[in-house]
Amino acid sequence: MSKTATPRVKHSLLSDFKEITKMRLALSVVFSSIAGYLLGVDEVSFKVLALLALGGYFMVGASNAFNQIIEKDLDVLMHRTRNRPIPAGRMSVKTAFIIASVFTVLGLSILYSINKQTAMFGAISIFLYTCVYTPLKTKTPLSVFVGAIPGAIPFMLGWVAATDTFGIEPGTLFALQFFWQFPHFWAIGWFLYTDYKRGGFFMLPTGKQDKGTAVQTIMYTIWTILISIVPVFGITGELKLSIIAAVIVFAFGLFMLFYAIQLFKKMTEKAAKQLMLASVLYITLIQIVYVIDKFIR
Ligand code: HEM
Ligand SMILES: CC(C)=CCC/C(C)=C/CC/C(C)=C/COP(=O)(O)OP(=O)(O)O
């Protein structure tokens, strides 16, 4: 294409695909599954790793596409979401439904080829996200607790893919990512409060940007930090953490806690945005530390 023929349409098929599957979020979810796999596995199989990444992406992509079909009339009301492919009219509901259905079948089949339990947890995730969390979002802020279940499954899913067993180890990984989601999401719910209100969503625990929400955000950050260091005490079976790694993970936790406290003190959207960024950095970094620690221990 010549330089003068700059396309006027900003959205391509590829960008629509990225949006309907929410690529950035999906990749970070897949990242946590890979971390869980590396933590659980004795000998890395690149085949299983690739299947997990692909199957995981299909499942999360399908969940997000179903979610955008269900919420198309609400997404059109919010600034953040009104340019998504369906509300903006670039993708029909039928196309999105075909993508979501094909991805569900592909995702489940690929996860099943790893082992049955992995497919079962994948199925539970997509069911809870699309059939329970999404409809509950307009009804009660408690929906976030339901959404946090499929959100937390991917980290433990990796362990289950590696071992075909469920126990204290994947349970701990689940708990860690489960509790982390509250500071992550309430920070988002805070700075997107006005936009969410346009769509009729009240996602903060008290329904408002108030001290109550900020205190709960701090409390869940503390639970997250406590769970993150439990493996150092040798009570989580095969899931272990060295003292040095636990200190590093704890320090990252204090970093996130600092931003949660800043939100309490300042009560601003800027502080909430900073906490959201800190939360994403935190979960990525601690998963990396857990994995490195396993391989160098
Ligand atoms: C209850 C569960 C969760 C809710 C309600 C939630 C909600 C959201 C929302 C609404 C955004 C977009 C923020 C914006 O537009 O500025 C976002 C961003 C993000 N979330 Fe979450 N999330 C949840 C769980 C997770 C999980 C489990 C992960 C990863 C393991 C994750 C990783 C991310 C990342 C990396 C971003 C930034 C990239 C992006 O904007 O797409 N989230 N989350
Ligand atoms: C293995 C498997 C299938 C895992 C599913 C993982 C998954 C889809 C996690 C998402 C977590 C979540 C509740 C995101 C928010 O969506 P939202 O609907 O609140 O976001 P929106 O406001 O942007 O629509």
The 10s digit of each residue's pLDDT in 25-49 is 999 999 999 999 999 999 999 999 9
CA 6 to ligand 1 center in whole angstroms: 32
Compute the distance between CA of residue 111 and CA of residue 158 in angstroms, rounded to an integer: 10
Given pLDDT bands bounded at 50, 70 and 90, which one contains residue 202? Answer: confident
Distance 5 CA to ligand 1 centre (A): 36
User: Residue 297: pLDDT band by 50, 70, 90 thresholds?
Assistant: confident
Choose the residue to mutate in 21, 157, 177, 188 for probing ligand 1, maximizing ligand atoms within 8 Å of C-beta.
188
Helices H / strands E in the chain, number of each:
13, 0
280 confidence band (pLDDT: 50, 70, 90): very high
Binned at pLDDT 50, 70 and 90, residue 11 comes out as confident
Q: If you take atom 11 of ligand 2, which residue's CA is the nearest one?
A: 151
**pTM, rounded to two decimals:** 0.93
| 290 residue type, one letter | Y
Whether residue 126 has its Cβ less than 6 Å from ligand 2: yes
Looking at beta carbons, which pairs linking 94-101 to residues 24 or more positions away fall under 8 Å?
A: 96/20, 96/65, 96/68, 96/69, 97/65, 97/69, 99/20, 99/21, 99/61, 99/62, 99/65, 100/61, 100/62, 100/65, 100/66, 100/69, 101/62
Residue partners of 226: CB distance under 8 A and separation at least 6:
none
What are the DSSP E strand ranges found in 133-263? Answer: none
> For atom 27 of ligand 1, which residue has the closest CA?
151
Report in angstroms the alpha-carbon separations of 291 from 32, 41, 73, 101, 279. 11, 11, 42, 33, 18
**CA gap 295, 230 in Å, rounded:** 19
- Tens of pLDDT, residue by residue over 74-127, are 999 999 999 999 999 999 999 999 999 999 999 999 999 999 999 999 999 999
Q: Record the tokens describing residue 297, joined without a space.
A: 């221990």
Model pLDDT for residues 127-136, shown as the tens digit of each residue: 999 999 999 9
Higher-confidence residue of 103 and 3: namely 103
| pLDDT tens digits, one per residue of 170-188 | 999 999 999 999 999 999 9
Task: State what percent of residues in the chain have pLDDT above 70.
Answer: 97
User: Cβ(56)–Cβ(126) under 8 Å?
Assistant: no
Tell me, using a 6 A CB cutoff, whether residue 29 lines ligand 2.
yes
